[in-house]
A = this chain, B = another copy of it.
């Protein structure tokens, strides 16, 4: 076990610098934990499941949304994968080169590009997703089912809150 700084030590060092300021410590702890947990989960699932199949986390997420929706347009794939259109272009290029996904320009609206899994991509997801899900289950295995449900609810509440803020800022911009 590396002698890294413990949580308690970090909080002590922190309070030595900012204890005289009117800060919201629980909020800081929540955001910090959120970042670290998401990172740890991404690293763990990548190393334990995805890497041996030559997939990155983002690549897998893109394959997953295209699979679940039986193919969709680029803009919706980016929304569902929570990445920008620019990023998606690069990721799709990688997946296309691996023969897992195909791009097809729409006949009715030539601006749109429709994404779909190849047979190889489809069989990969059918094989891989149950394994991936089992690893996801392990990640939350230490929590009670009730805690997992509460966790999911709180996280979704945060996402909703921020999406509201974001669209509010956009309409303010437009006025």
- Sample of 20 A–B contacts (CB below 8 Å): A4-B76, A5-B69, A10-B80, A24-B134, A27-B140, A27-B148, A31-B136, A34-B34, A35-B38, A37-B159, A38-B38, A40-B163, A44-B166, A138-B165, A139-B162, A147-B154, A148-B154, A150-B151, A150-B154, A151-B155
Contacts of A157 in B (CB 8 A): 142-143
CA distance A162 to B39 in the complex (A): 11
CA distance A18 to B134 in the complex (A): 14
CB of A159 within 8 A of CB of B36, answer yes
Which of B31, B129, B136 is in CB contact (< 8 Å) with A139? B31
Contacts of A137 in B (CB 8 A): 24, 27
CB of B155 within 8 A of CB of A36, answer yes
Q: Which residue of B lies closest to A154 (CB)?
A: B151
On chain A, which size bracket covers the interface?
35 or more
Interface string of A155-175 (1 = CB under 8 A from B): 111111111011100000000
Known contacts A31-B140, A133-B23: does B13 contact A156 (CB below 8 Å)? no
Contacts of A21 in B (CB 8 A): 129-130
Q: Which residue of B lies closest to A171 (CB)?
A: B1
